């Protein structure tokens, strides 16, 4: 298989960065940041959040580049890191929305005393989801990403995304119904 000069240069830069060259790492960042920003902005829908996620990506790359065994795998490796950082951002945004919603429905808030039990029940139900289920739920509902976009971001088949969404919905439904039954007693 013929490799492009750009891929060969990237592999050389990875090897040099693994040997401790900050200049090589800076050059990798210069070459790859625009691609990662486009990817992150597509996932997050926000240039500011994308910039933060890419910055976190480069911090992770700097800490972990020595563990990358095959320099030819750098593109997939760096995109996987960026995708995980975007997922972290989405989870953080979902938590912030949840906290805002909880504050709005706080029983101590005189305007909306009802609904606080529902918020607490939903938080408990969400906490029972697996990490994988919580990530796809946050990406699907929190970031309005399609199944295909989530599959690409997480490097998993679209069928796996659908399965995780289905199982998460079933888990939430079962927990919600259980909490409804407990409240009606």
Contacts of 176 (CB under 8 A, 6+ apart): 121, 122, 125
Identify whether the C-beta of residue 124 lies closer than 8 Å to the C-beta of residue 175. Answer: yes
Tell me what percent of the chain is helix, strand and coil, each rounded to the nearest 5: 80, 0, 20
Would you give the end-to-end CA distance of the chain in angstroms? 68
Tokens representing 70? Answer: 């095959």
The pLDDT profile of the chain, 185 residues, written as one tens digit per residue, is: 678 899 999 999 999 999 999 999 999 999 999 999 988 888 888 899 999 999 999 999 999 999 999 999 898 889 889 988 988 888 776 555 555 555 555 554 444 444 555 555 666 677 778 878 877 887 787 656 688 878 877 889 999 999 999 998 888 888 777 766 665 66
Identify whether the C-beta of residue 44 lies closer than 8 Å to the C-beta of residue 89. Answer: yes
Identify whether the C-beta of residue 173 lies closer than 8 Å to the C-beta of residue 128. Answer: no
Full-model pTM: 0.55
Topology alike, domains 1-88 and 105-185: no
Identify whether the C-beta of residue 75 lies closer than 8 Å to the C-beta of residue 36. Answer: no
The domain 1-88: what is its CATH number?
A: 1.10.1740.10
Q: CB 161: neighbour CB atoms within 10 A?
A: 25
Tokens representing 65? Answer: 């580049």
Domain 105-185 indexed as CATH 1.10.10.10: yes
**Domain coordinates of the chain in residue numbers?**
1-88, 105-185
């Amino acid at each position: 298989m013929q490799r492009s000069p750009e891929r060969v240069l990237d592999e050389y830069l990875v090897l040099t960065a693994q040997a401790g060259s900050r200049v090589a790492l800076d050059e990798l960042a210069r070459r790859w940041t625009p691609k990662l920003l486009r990817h992150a902005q597509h996932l997050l829908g926000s240039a500011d959040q994308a910039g933060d996620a890419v910055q976190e990506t480069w911090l992770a790359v700097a800490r972990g580049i020595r563990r990358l065994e095959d320099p030819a795998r750098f593109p997939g490796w760096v995109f996987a890191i960026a995708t995980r950082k975007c997922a972290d951002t989405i989870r953080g945004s979902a938590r912030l929305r949840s906290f805002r919603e909880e504050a709005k429905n706080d029983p101590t808030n005189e305007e909306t005393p009802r609904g606080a039990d529902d918020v607490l029940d939903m938080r408990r139900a969400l906490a029972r989801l697996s990490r994988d289920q919580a990530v796809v739920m946050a990406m699907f509902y929190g970031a309005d990403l399609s199944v295909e976009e989530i599959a690409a971001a997480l490097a998993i088949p679209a069928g796996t995304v659908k399965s995780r969404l289905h199982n998460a919905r079933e888990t939430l439904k079962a927990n919600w119904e259980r909490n409804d039954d407990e409240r009606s007693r």
